[in-house]
Each structure stands twice: as structure tokens, then as C-alpha cells.
Amino acid sequence: MSLDRAKDVQVFPITSDTRVFRSRSWTRLKFEIEYSLQKGTTANSYLIESDRTVLLDIPGESFSDIFINALQKRVDLEAIDYLVLGHINPNRAITLKKILPLAPNLQIVCSNPGAIALRKILEDQDLELNITVIKGDDTLDIGQDHRLEFIPIPNPRYPDLLCTYDPRSQVLYTDKLFGMHVCGDRIFDEGWTTDLEDRRYYFDCLMAPHARQIGAALDKIAEKNAKIYAVGHGCLVKYGLTELNSYYREWLQNQGDRAMTVALIYASAYGNTTTIAQAIARGVTKAGVAVESINAESTDPETIKIAVEKASGFIMGSPTLGGHPPTQIQTALGIVLGNTNKTKLAGVFGSYGWSGEAIDILETKFRNAGYSFGFDTIRVKFKPTDQIIKTCEEAGTDFAQKLKKAQRANKPKATSGTSEVARTEQALGRLVGSLCVVTTKQEELKGAMLASWVSQATFTPPGITVAVAKERAIESLLHIGSGFVLNILQQGEHIGLMKQFLKPFAPGEDRFQGVAIEEAENGCPILTDALAFLECRIASKMECGDHWLVYATAEKGKLLQSEGVTAVHHRKSGTHY
């Protein structure tokens, strides 16, 4: 599969009278955390042709023209009766503006928050909108036993989210639920286990911060006897439908079982602050702390109050509008200041176009009130870049680690003894490992970590395993198909490199400052003072408690020091490195 192919639209029948239009981009579509695997994406739309013709969902601006062209080859746009919008945003609204003049009789069906958002986005346009707002148990009869059922499943990121179920075809149109950002030729999920890492990553980025609402959504859709999930992104779910539901439940349970929660409160004028919020949330959740994501624009004050009272820490983000935070953030600020203990950890972030006063206002209010900060305030001008998104993720991880450190400090110290647990820990700690540094690079992003849980795993092909803690910054750069270099350190010459990569780094800080490096053929850094190196490609990953076990094949390697021996790591306890 070539990743430099032009955008296209793949059209395919999924039932006798329903087609999917998969608008495909083979390269990364947006600079948002959920696209960071850089496997492209599809924006899926669906056409049901019965007595009435229904279009479900439309792609964003990137696909507007090619999508409309593909749609016109199949149907006269004037013959489309309904457009069901599972979610609306400014990008999709641009496509809608192009469709409306070609489909004058089009009736738009959406949730009430969707209708409000649509009218706001198009308020300066001279367009007549024929909108039907879904209420309660509304259905839509389009003939031939197709009676569409609607299921509102709002969450803070997508307050207008709406699923649609067609009982005749047993297709559930899920929009954002169960998707993944991967472009390919498969229509359905044959060999669904190969998609699991991508669907998990998509879940961690978009669903985990809204675990409570996503759990309620799963309960609602469980009442429908669906055989196909017509998702908004990626291949449709058919063969792994039951298993994917189970995985979603398991992943949600993992969020619910976490001892600490961070309240992440934000508003967003143009989507940039939301992008930052999602990256911070990803960093927090990967470090083992749950996030309660709160969109201040669509959340009532009592919900905000309950969330911040429960949370171990809070993070607030805002755009700047007219030199100030929007009204909803000002209200949330008052709630936080009036209802949170000053010992709770705080964080501030925001985006701006020219000034950014709102960010300064939030930071000043919290500092004057006596709160400690979990990371340096994040200020982003205009749209976040890949590097900024990575920095925001690392800031979220730092925030979570500080919460966990404070929790450990407050726990009474366990007395040493000869319990079975203590004996097991001591024995486990006697396992030794080679001291190595894992280095990687993806475009402008670089990462590195000191690793001692490394082992050869296979002879044919030559392969190794590396255990990577979930909260490591480099973890987000190590996915199936990614390359890295394993730099094996030399005994007696390893102290400098070990100290360099053992020290804590600030979010976005260059790990390689002052280190002698060369570029490997796979583009990743080689530490020239190492004993040896292996260029590796990740073949699979397995989730193991608080670590990922990464299996990679060694594609090539070289001994840099012919007389040296490998440095090893000795521990006294199996509970820490």
C-alpha cells in the first residue's frame, strides 16, 4: 500500500439498499493526538435508498469535492430526502454548504445540540436550513420496513453525538464510536485482531476521557440487535463486533478502577483548545490516572462542582476572546476556586490568535489562590503542531506522575519483614537485564528511554522484546510498524549515558542535547558511544499490567566496541527499576 496516493472515495454496497462512501486519505489528515499513528484515515458516509433516500454523515472540507462528485455518480442530489448528522463541526459544515444548493429539498436530522451548533456555524450564511431535531424515541419511516431509530449519546467532546439504527438491515451507524484512523482497502474488519492496537489507540485518545458517558452509550446501543457497526472512521465492524464490545467494556472498566481522577475543564472557540485538551488527557490516562473531561460550554455548573470536588487535581484550558476567557470558563473558574482544596494540583493551558490574556488570567487566579502547578502553563498560538501535541501529552503524564508521587508520600510506610510478598519481591529483583537505550524518531519527533527489561526472543527471525512502562514519553512513538534503535551500553563506559537518559526531562525537552549521535538507516538516532546497536521494527505488542511488552525484529546491527562487555542492571527489589 502506497502512502502517497491521492485522496479518493471508495464506494461499496454493505446491504442490498445501503452503500458506504469511504472518503480516504492515505496520509495524516490533521494535527490531533488521535491521528498520531499517521496511518491515514477514512471519513465514512452512508446512503440508504428506499422509498425515501437518506444520507448519513458527510466528510469534512478535505473531501468535500471528491465526495460530492462520487455521490452524484450514484444519485441525483435533488432526490435525497434526509441528511442524518451524527456529529457536526465547522469542517463538515463546509461540505454541507456545498451540498445544500444541489439538494434544495434536503431535510437535516440531528440532535438538539447538533442543531444549535449547526445554526451557530452557519449563522453568517444566507442559507435556509430545514432541520428536524430528534426528541425522545423519535423514528423515521423511509419505507420498505426501514424505520430508523435514533440514539443520542452525548459526551463532552461530542455533545451532539447521535447514533442511528436501521432494524431492517441491522446496521447501527455509530459515527465516532468504535472507529480508528487507518486508511486501507478493506471495507469490513476481516482479521479484526490486526486492528486491535489501532482501535485501542483511538479509544484511549477519544473515549477514555469520557468513560462515564461512553459506558452509558454502550448500554443504550446494547438494546439494538446490530450485526454491523457502520463507523465514522476506518473499516466497518462486522466480524469482531462482539469482541470489540467486550474490549470497550474492559477498557472502560480500567478507567473506572483508577484511584485518582483529574478534572479537565475547557472551552474551545475554533477547536485548537480541544486539540490541546485531548493531548493532555491522553498523557494523564496513559500514566494510570483517570480523566473526567468537561466541556464548559455544554456542562451545567453542578456537574463541574461535583467533578472538581471528587478529583485529585484539575486542569483548565481556555481560548482568548476579546482579551478574556469565554463566559463559561469564567463561571467554571469561580466554581473551581470556591470548591477545591488548595492542596490539589492545578494546570492551565490555552490557545490564542494574538494576545492570550485568558491563559494569563487563569494562571494568575490559581497562583494567587495558592495552588501548586503540575506543569508549566501551556500557551499555543494558532494551531498546535506535532511537536506541541507531543509536549502536551508529556505535560499530562508529568501531571499524573506528580499526583501519584504525592499519593505514595501520604501513605504510611510498610514495615520491612519476611512476609511472603517481601520474599517474592526480593527474589524478583535478582533478575538482571542488559542496560540499553531505546531511541526513535518519527518526522520531527524524537524519543529515548533507558531500558533494562530487554531480552532476545527469537532466532528466526532475529527478534527481541522490550518492556515499556505505559507512562513513558516514548511509548506514544512505539507502535506496530514503527522503527527504533536499541543501543546496548558498555560496562565501565555506561555511566554518562545512563545518567543522561535516567534524568527527568521537561515536556518537549531534547533528550539528545550534548549526546554524540548518528542517524541509522531507519532514521532513528544511534548513540555512537554505545557498545553495539540494533535497528529494529516493531512486529507486535502485548499489554501486560503497567507495561507494554514490545516484540521487534532486528533488521540490522553493528558492534561499535570490539573489546567491551554489556553493562547490566542489578536490583534489590522487584517493585521498581
Given a cut of 60, whether residue 417 has pLDDT beyond it is no
C-alpha cell at 368: 494567587
Q: How far apart are CA 403 and CA 344, in angstroms?
A: 9
pLDDT of residue 123: 86
pLDDT of residue 31: 84
pLDDT of residue 415: 54
Q: How far apart are CA 57 and CA 296, in angstroms?
A: 26
pLDDT of residue 30: 84
pLDDT in tens, 278-301: 999 999 999 999 999 999 998 999
Query: In one letter, which amino acid is 323?
Result: G
Given a cut of 60, whether residue 2 has pLDDT beyond it is no
Contacts by 198-204, CB closer than 8 A, 24 or more apart: 198/37, 198/39, 198/234, 199/234, 199/244, 199/247, 200/247, 200/251, 201/34, 201/37, 201/479, 202/34, 202/233, 202/234, 203/248, 203/251, 204/251, 204/282, 204/285, 204/286
pLDDT-based confidence at residue 6 (cuts at 50, 70, 90): confident
pLDDT-based confidence at residue 421 (cuts at 50, 70, 90): confident
Q: How far apart are CA 299 and CA 335, in angstroms?
A: 12
C-alpha cell at 70: 462520487
pLDDT-based confidence at residue 1 (cuts at 50, 70, 90): very low
How high does pLDDT run on average in the chain? 94
pLDDT of residue 571: 87
pLDDT in tens, 57-92: 999 999 999 999 999 999 999 999 999 999 999 999
CB-based contact 294:301 (threshold 8 Å): no
Which domains, from first to last, does the chain contain? 8-255 (3.60.15.10), 258-408 (3.40.50.360), 425-569 (2.30.110.10)
pLDDT of residue 4: 47
Across residues 325-353, what is the average pLDDT? 96
Across residues 424-451, what is the average pLDDT? 93
pLDDT of residue 535: 98
Given a cut of 90, whether residue 354 has pLDDT beyond it is no
C-alpha cell at 41: 484515515
Q: How far apart are CA 401 and CA 394, in angstroms?
A: 10
Given a cut of 50, whether residue 249 has pLDDT beyond it is yes
pLDDT-based confidence at residue 555 (cuts at 50, 70, 90): very high
pLDDT of residue 411: 74
pLDDT of residue 418: 63
Q: How far apart are CA 70 and CA 168, in angstroms?
A: 26
Across residues 104-111, what is the average pLDDT? 95
pLDDT in tens, 132-144: 999 878 999 999 9
Q: How far apart are CA 468 and CA 543, in angstroms?
A: 10
**pLDDT over 90, % of the chain:** 87
Give Rg (Cα) of the chain: 25
392: helix, coil or strand?
Answer: helix
pLDDT-based confidence at residue 410 (cuts at 50, 70, 90): confident
555: helix, coil or strand?
Answer: strand
pLDDT in tens, 479-488: 999 999 999 9
C-alpha cell at 198: 489501532
Q: How far apart are CA 426 and CA 63, in angstroms?
A: 59
**pLDDT over 70, % of the chain:** 98
Q: How far apart are CA 463 and CA 465, in angstroms?
A: 7
pLDDT-based confidence at residue 8 (cuts at 50, 70, 90): very high
pLDDT of residue 33: 92
